[in-house]
Every structure is written in C-alpha cells, then in structure tokens.
Amino acid sequence: MDIIEHYDLLIDEGNDPFRDPPILQEYMSQWDGERFVEALELAGNKKVLEIGIGTGRIAVQVAPLCMALTGIDISPKTIERAKENLKACKNVSFVCADFGDYQFSGTFDVIYSSLTMMHFRDKKQVVTKIDTLLNKGGIFCVSIDKNQSEYIDMGTRRVRVYPDTLDHMKSLIEETEMSVATVFETDRAYGIVSKK
C-alpha cells in the first residue's frame, strides 16, 4: 500500500496520536518523549523544521519553545488534522509534500524527525538534504525505531518501510558537515543528536 494512502486511512479510521488518551501518549513517547524534546535545545529565537509532523504529537511540545516551526508531511489528511490540532500555535506553518522533493525557501536552526526515516528508501539523500537545510551551529535530532521489520502490519493492510540501523544512520550523518554529538536509547528507539 502507498504511504500517503496509509496515513490518510489512519485519519479516516480515527487514529490521531495527538488526541490519544494519556496511556497511549505514554506508549508513543517510548520512541521519543521528554529526552528527545530536551535534546533539541530549543529557544525563542530558533527556526525549527519537523520532518513528518503527523497530527502534531511532538509539535505541540516544540512550538511554544521556539520562534517558528515548519511541519512537513506527505499525507494531506494528516496535515489537515495537524492544522486543526495546532490551531492555537500561531508560529506553526505546514507543508504537504514529500520532504525529498520539496524546495524549502529558507534554512533552520533545529531539524528533527521521529518515526519518519523508515519511510525513506534513499536515506543518504535525506540526510544530505537535512545538512543543507541546517544552519551552522544547528541541531539535527532523529529517533530511529529499533524494529527492523520491513512492513508496518495493520492487520488489514501492510505498508513497506525501510528500517534504519544506528550505525548506518551515524555513518551517513558523519559524511556531512554534521557530527554525532550524543546517542541515547529509549525502550523502542535510538535517539541521535547531531550538531553542525
């Protein structure tokens, strides 16, 4: 199944992590959580990009801590839901596009992504693009799922993904002007914090 169709269907099915009850929000934080947001070193003068904003689960924590947040996502229905969920956050703008293809007009002080890199086949192209979009002194933080399955299995449908490994992602980062500053581990993921 196509990734756009999958995420659009999740919205149709009422799957919105932004609106999850506390127990499910706690479950989702096993991939990122408080430590992930702290690693972004946010400040009121920083411009931030979230790759794969989804319905705004992480963005709602980030937006109050930065000057401007741009969220990009490939799913039209997901972006519409994120706009609704984050309407109180006046410093957030949204882009519905494939990150790999989209031409950004500016650069960012912080770029982050959680549970999104698995959707990119050409990870080198994505990491290289992130490097070009990140300002000198900037931070890139990524959460990589420990699950190495090549499919998201929803029971009624399967979606092809491209799992990451910690070593491979670190090596791609080190090939750019960024360097790995910290690696941390959660129950379900590795967090890599890089600086430029």
User: How far apart, in Å, are the Cα atoms of 140 and each of 30, 160, 177, 182?
Assistant: 19, 25, 11, 11
pLDDT for the residue numbered 186:
87
Contact 189, 30 (CB under 8 A): yes
Torsion of CA 173, 114, 185, 37, to 10 degrees: 100
For the chain, how many structural domains are there in total?
Answer: 1
Contact 181, 120 (CB under 8 A): no
pLDDT for the residue numbered 30:
82
Segments forming the whole domain that contains residue 71 = 3-195
Contact 175, 167 (CB under 8 A): no
What CATH number does residue 148 fall under? 3.40.50.150
Long-range contacts of 119-125 (CB under 8 A, 24+ apart): 119/3, 119/52, 119/74, 119/161, 119/162, 120/162, 121/162, 123/162, 123/164, 123/168, 123/169, 123/172, 124/172, 124/175, 125/100
Q: Which amino acid is at 129?
A: K
pLDDT for the residue numbered 99:
97
pLDDT for the residue numbered 194:
98
- How far apart (Å, rounded) are the C-alpha atoms in residues 93 and 79? 10
- How far apart (Å, rounded) are the C-alpha atoms in residues 99 and 43? 24
pLDDT for the residue numbered 87:
97
pLDDT for the residue numbered 80:
97
Nearest to 72 by CA among 37, 21, 106: 106
pLDDT for the residue numbered 29:
83
pLDDT string in tens for the chain (196-residue length): 789 999 999 999 988 988 888 888 888 888 888 899 999 999 999 999 999 999 999 999 999 999 999 999 999 999 999 999 999 999 999 999 999 999 999 999 999 999 899 999 999 999 999 999 999 999 999 999 999 999 988 888 999 999 999 999 999 999 999 999 999 998 899 999 999 9
pLDDT for the residue numbered 193:
98
**Full-model pTM:** 0.95
